[in-house]
Every structure is written in structure tokens, then in C-alpha cells.
A and B are shown apart, each in its own frame.
Chain A
């Protein structure tokens, strides 16, 4: 895997001067920008446009940033109506002029693509008319783009006339499959509207892909979310982009995060680099399972401490079943406390049968509360014999680990007796009884 080239959409830097945003993104380590032409960022209607474009091209070159041109500005054409007019309106000339200008600007900047969308169908425009207008508009743009050899990236946008991959296929077929009519895929949108999984969407889009936007999202909710706030598992998405041979920019699309742009940009790149590392690590483990031995410890350093546990579970899930028990046993044996904890947490999702129970018993012998807690997770709770389980629960109470952290309790008469005896001893010693104990005894936990 050569590694994706990450960019950032300037529409997420609406409160920054363009030059400041570009420098900041280059300093953070981004390799490109998705530049939304807007009144404050390279206004395509500026009287000094030619000089502005030349200066920007120089800046981008100096900073080593690649660029794609985006055209989704909200109030660039009509101060009253967002995005209006679109290609679907009766008078779509201002939109066509803007897009033609964008194509010329892209050519002058050496941009990798120009991105645009269909627009929302106005209520008074019948669907067939809207399609006819869209096809006619796109045909003109294809002609202009072909002339300067800049690929068009048609973006699928939830709520617009063309919102999904089926719509794209239909549109491209009506245009006669022109070479310079490609696809802009927003990864979040796939999760929002497409029936297939996001990696499958990427595979289907692959042959036409010229531009990728990336963000997190939830099913049926068109809201661009920071990474980790939605439902998307990103490493398989990045692996699919690699698999289809996509080498263009993968640009963060968080237009509603401008108020905290620098921090969002920093955290996004950390997240995406971690996800790319995980995708690559999974591929290496799939090819050679012993590779996990040196990759497992590195996960925290490369992906960050917040997600290290999840990443490690993801690496373990890539192991083939025949070596799984041996590998997890030695990863646990030679692991630091955080690595051991990740192995324990993974047990409930790995097909290990009873072979993970020795690790659970080892963890219960320690005085490390994180290991004891992880040992009594779903796998240990279900798999331990009753005496060992009861001792584990009692140890939690003794160590001050809240029982809420170990999930549903298996309470029986013997455990009640043990907890009662523990409470009696505490009372006799004049020491406090943890609140969990009376709750379990009263049958409330």
C-alpha cells in the first residue's frame, strides 16, 4: 500500500484567509487541498482573477500542495437562495458560467479535478425536465473539460437529483460515457444513502473515481461529522481505495467545523494516518500472520492512545483461525499492560473457544485494575467456571472496581454469601462497604 494522499477542504476554513489556511494545512502535513471557489477564497468573479490564480498556483507549488477545485459555495451566485441557480433551473447560465470558469481555473492551477453536483430539483420542475437540463448542462461542461484535459468529478449529494451511484451510472450512460466525466465520492454520503457497505461503494465507484472527500456520517442523516463521531469503519475504506488503484486526493470535508478549523484539521490527519496505518497493518498480517508480533505494540504510537485498543482488536481480527490461539497467547505473554488489555477485550469477538481462558485467569491474578476489569468482560464472564468467576467479582469489589464496568453479573447464592461475608468483615473493621455490595445483595445489580 503506497498510502493515501490526504487533503483538506478549504470550505472547512471559511474564517481563515486562503493563504493562511494553505500554510497551516501544509505545516500540519496535508498533501493537498480541495479548494471551494467562494467570495473570500479565490473569487471567480474577481476583476483580478488572472493574477489571483497565478499567485495561488505559485503558493501551492511552494507549499507542495496538490489541488482539486470544488464548486459547492452556498451564496456565490444568488445572495438570497443557497446554491441557486443549479443546472436544474430554467436559467442555469450563471451556474454554467461559474463551472466553465472553474474548469479554466483548474487548468491554470494544474488541478487534479473539478467537482460539481446536480442540485436539488426545484419543486416546480418535473423530474424528466430536470434530467434533460442536467444532461444538457453536463454535456457542455464535458466539452470544456475535455478541451483543457481536466477531469470532471460529478459529486453525489444526498437530497439532490443525483444522490447515489445508480444515478451516476444513469447520468454517465446518457452522456455517452465520456472520458473526462468522472466521479467525486464523498465517503460519508455513502454511509448516509447507499445500500451497499462503504468499501463496496468505493469498489463500485473505482473505475470512475477522480476525487474523494472523506468525513464520518450516520445512516440517513446528512451531517458531516468529525472522525469517530459517526458509523464508518475507515481502515477498510482506505484499503478499498488502494485496491481500486485510486491515487488522487482524499480530502477531509468538514464545512461546518470552520470555527475550530486548525484543531479539527490536526485531529483529522492524526486519525486518518492512523486508519491508513491500520489498513496497511491488516494487509501485512493477512499476508503473513507473524507480522502482528511487531505491529501490535506499534498501534498506540501510530494511531494514538484513544483508539489503540480498537485498532489492536482490529489487528487480531485479521489473524487466520489456525494460528489465532498461539498468537494471542504470546502477544499477551510479551505484551505491556495496554497490549494485554487489548487482547483480553478482543476475546469476545475472536473465534478462540476456550483457549483464551488461561489469559483471563492470568489477568485475574494481577493487581492491575484495568486487566482485572477487562478479564471480566463478556468473554471471561461467560467462560469462567463459577468459583473463578465469583472470586473475580469479589476481587473487583475488593479493589474498588465499580461492578457496572464489568457488565451483566452472574449472581448466585454463593456469590451473595461471599459478598455478605466481605461486607460483614468491613463493618467489623469499621471500614466503609462499597456501594455495589448492598446493591447486589438487594438484587439491584
Chain B
């Protein structure tokens, strides 16, 4: 099984996670820019974060045979903080970089007017940079937030097949399916979607435009959830080709629209370093 996790916050994960993911078949990941569990208070901490998503983290992933790309954005939660808004002016510089395959995560958290403005502005940047967009849907009032998300996407003029609307469930999938956008599902250990429910969604809605991710981060989460969904699909009678489509070909097609995706096998160089630093400890 080859797996491409289209949404996982690897900066928050350990090297053990990378090792386990690769052993289970995860060969590629996309890490969208996100908040960090406590608020950022300045543009500078975004810049350092973006630089690590483009520098240190892809290096770290490569040390374990995993291709790492990222999505860059001002996330919805921090879009409400005036101290962070100036990062929007820097986004065009970052959206131009090689490792960036999408704008994201954008969308709604509390559906404030500030979030409206920042979401629309970032959709416009995506159109300018010719990049796909990863849209987060809110944890509260999800159905309404998803509908409003689709309205904003429509108004922006971006092609729906350049947009994935993420964190969907049984109640929000149909409206996204009808919109022509891609459908993203985050599989968590205890809350929200699980593997069993995901398999049921795939059975009902098919495998077209479907993306399954672990969305693992610093919270209670499991970076092997995409792989586990693959096994649940097989156990439920899906073919190996269905699994390959959902867990590899679909994310490759979606992020491939950036023209910047590199899915070649990593040539692991255990002696490599990044800017003079390595992941080895006590050996050099």
C-alpha cells in the first residue's frame, strides 16, 4: 500500500512517527500551515514557521524516506488577530516557492467578518499563484459553515476542482460533492470521523475527488489513520486499486495541479544535513 497523507502537521510529530509512517506505506505528505495550539502574536513567528515548513521539515521527512510538501496561509483562527494580519502581505513571496503545493488552511473558524475578508483575500492569492486551496471547515456549526464556505468559493471565481473542503462528515459531504470541489476527511482516534464511518461514506459517495487524511498534529491524533482507513477499506471489500486511488492517486492529482509536486522516491542520505544541522544525535 502506498499512501500520500494530504493533510498532516508533521512539525508537531516525532521522528518515531515518521519511521512508523514510512514503514506502514506513507511515502508523501502535505503539511498545511496551521495554528500552534497557542496564539502567535507577531508576523515574525509566521515567517519562521513558513521557513521551517519549507526547510527543516522537508529535510526531516526526507531522512525517513517521506516526501514533504506544504500549504501556506494565514489560518482562520489567527485571521481574527490584528497583530497577525500583515502576514497576508508576505504570502505572495511564500506562495511562489518550490515546496508549496497549495494555499491552506484557509476558511472559517468562528465565521467572523475578519475571517470573511481573509478567506476571500487568500482565494484571490491562490488564483494569482495558480495554486489549489485547502479549506478548513469549522468544528462548530459545521453544516452552516460548509455552505457558507462553498458560497465564498463560488464568488471567488476559482475553479471548484482546485479546492478541497476538508474535515467533512456524513452530514456535510453531499453539498460539497455537488459543488465540484474535492472532499477531504480527517480521521481521528476518538472524535469526528473514524475509519468505519469513512468506509461507509466511500461506499455511498464513491472514490472520485475523495481525500482521506490523518490531520495529525500536537493534539491527540494518529498519523497512521490514513493507512488504517486503507486497511478498513480492504476489509470492507474495496479493491487494492480503490485504496490506491483514494490514498495515493487522488492526492497526487489534486496537489499535482500546482505543477510543483515531486513524488519521486527519496534517496535517503543518512549523512545529509540542513543548514549545518542534522537529525542525528550524538553521532555528528
Contacts of B97 in A (CB 8 A): 297, 336
A298 within 8 A of partner (CB) = yes
A62 within 8 A of partner (CB) = no
Q: Which of A4-52 contact B (CB under 8 A)?
A: none
Task: Pick the residue among A334, A369, A371, A399 that contacts B93 (CB under 8 A).
Answer: A334
Category for how many chain A residues contact B: 10 to 19
Are B93's CB and A293's CB within 8 A? yes
- Nearest B residue to A371 via CB reads B275
| B182 shortest CB reach to chain A, Å | 24
Task: Pick the residue among B94, B95, B129, B277 that contacts A367 (CB under 8 A).
Answer: B277
Given contacts A366-B275, A369-B276, contact A337 B96 (CB under 8 A): no
Q: When chains A and B are docked, how far (Å) is the Cα of A334 from the Cα of B276?
A: 19
| B21 shortest CB reach to chain A, Å | 25
A300 within 8 A of partner (CB) = yes
Q: When chains A and B are docked, how far (Å) is the Cα of A281 from the Cα of B72?
A: 24
Residues 292-318 of A, flagged 1 when their CB comes within 8 A of B and 0 if not, give 011111101100000000000000000
Are A297's CB and B93's CB within 8 A? yes
Most chain-B CB neighbours within 10 Å: which of A293, A300, A371?
A293
| B242 shortest CB reach to chain A, Å | 32
Q: When chains A and B are docked, how far (Å) is the Cα of A11 from the Cα of B51?
A: 48
Q: When chains A and B are docked, how far (Å) is the Cα of A298 from the Cα of B277?
A: 26
Task: Pick the residue among A293, A336, A368, A369 that contacts B92 (CB under 8 A).
Answer: A293
Contacts of A298 in B (CB 8 A): 96
Most chain-A CB neighbours within 10 Å: which of B55, B93, B276, B277?
B93
- Nearest A residue to B97 via CB reads A297
Are A366's CB and B276's CB within 8 A? yes
Given contacts A336-B54, A336-B55, A337-B55, contact A294 B276 (CB under 8 A): no
| B280 shortest CB reach to chain A, Å | 14
Q: When chains A and B are docked, how far (Å) is the Cα of A91 from the Cα of B267?
A: 65
Are A334's CB and B98's CB within 8 A? no
Contacts of B121 in A (CB 8 A): none
B20 within 8 A of partner (CB) = no
B47 within 8 A of partner (CB) = yes
Are A301's CB and B93's CB within 8 A? no
Q: When chains A and B are docked, how far (Å) is the Cα of A337 from the Cα of B275?
A: 8
- Nearest A residue to B55 via CB reads A336
Q: When chains A and B are docked, how far (Å) is the Cα of A296 from the Cα of B94?
A: 11
Residues 88-128 of B, flagged 1 when their CB comes within 8 A of A and 0 if not, give 00101111111000000000000000000000000000000
Q: When chains A and B are docked, how far (Å) is the Cα of A395 from the Cα of B277?
A: 16
Contacts of A399 in B (CB 8 A): 276
Are A301's CB and B98's CB within 8 A? yes
Interface residues in B, total, Cβ within 8 A: 17
Q: When chains A and B are docked, how far (Å) is the Cα of A336 from the Cα of B48?
A: 11
Are B96's CB and A334's CB within 8 A? no
Are A294's CB and B98's CB within 8 A? no
- Nearest A residue to B92 via CB reads A294
Residues 349-388 of A, flagged 1 when their CB comes within 8 A of B and 0 if not, give 0000000000000000011110100000000000000000
- Nearest B residue to A399 via CB reads B276
Most chain-B CB neighbours within 10 Å: which of A295, A296, A333, A334?
A334
Contacts of A295 in B (CB 8 A): 96
- Nearest B residue to A294 via CB reads B96
Most chain-A CB neighbours within 10 Å: which of B47, B92, B276?
B276
Contacts of A336 in B (CB 8 A): 51, 54-55, 97
B22 within 8 A of partner (CB) = no
Are B98's CB and A300's CB within 8 A? yes
Q: When chains A and B are docked, how far (Å) is the Cα of A169 from the Cα of B193?
A: 77
Contacts of B47 in A (CB 8 A): 333-334
Q: When chains A and B are docked, how far (Å) is the Cα of A336 from the Cα of B50?
A: 10
Task: Pick the residue among A294, A333, A334, A368 that contacts B275 (CB under 8 A).
Answer: A368
- Nearest A residue to B91 via CB reads A294
Contacts of B277 in A (CB 8 A): 367
Most chain-B CB neighbours within 10 Å: which of A296, A336, A337, A368?
A336
Q: When chains A and B are docked, how far (Å) is the Cα of A126 from the Cα of B6?
A: 76
B260 within 8 A of partner (CB) = yes
Contacts of B95 in A (CB 8 A): 294
Are B276's CB and A368's CB within 8 A? yes
Are B275's CB and A367's CB within 8 A? yes
Q: When chains A and B are docked, how far (Å) is the Cα of A293 from the Cα of B90?
A: 9
Given contacts A367-B275, A369-B276, contact A334 B260 (CB under 8 A): no
Q: When chains A and B are docked, how far (Å) is the Cα of A371 from the Cα of B55?
A: 15
Given contacts A334-B47, A367-B276, A368-B275, contact A294 B93 (CB under 8 A): yes
Contacts of A297 in B (CB 8 A): 93, 96-98
Contacts of A371 in B (CB 8 A): 275
Contacts of B90 in A (CB 8 A): 334
- Nearest A residue to B129 via CB reads A294
Q: When chains A and B are docked, how far (Å) is the Cα of A333 from the Cα of B46?
A: 13
Q: When chains A and B are docked, how far (Å) is the Cα of A368 from the Cα of B275?
A: 4
| A117 shortest CB reach to chain B, Å | 42
Q: When chains A and B are docked, how far (Å) is the Cα of A294 from the Cα of B72?
A: 14
Are A301's CB and B55's CB within 8 A? no
- Nearest B residue to A372 via CB reads B276
Most chain-B CB neighbours within 10 Å: which of A293, A295, A297, A366?
A297
Contacts A333-B47, A367-B277 known; list 12 others, CB within 8 Å.
A293-B96, A294-B92, A296-B96, A297-B93, A297-B96, A301-B260, A334-B47, A334-B93, A366-B275, A366-B276, A369-B276, A371-B275
User: What are 7 A-B interface contacts by the 8 Å CB criterion?
Assistant: A293-B93, A294-B93, A297-B93, A297-B96, A297-B98, A300-B98, A301-B98
Residues of A that sit less than 8 Å from B by CB = 293-298, 300-301, 333-334, 336-337, 366-369, 371, 399
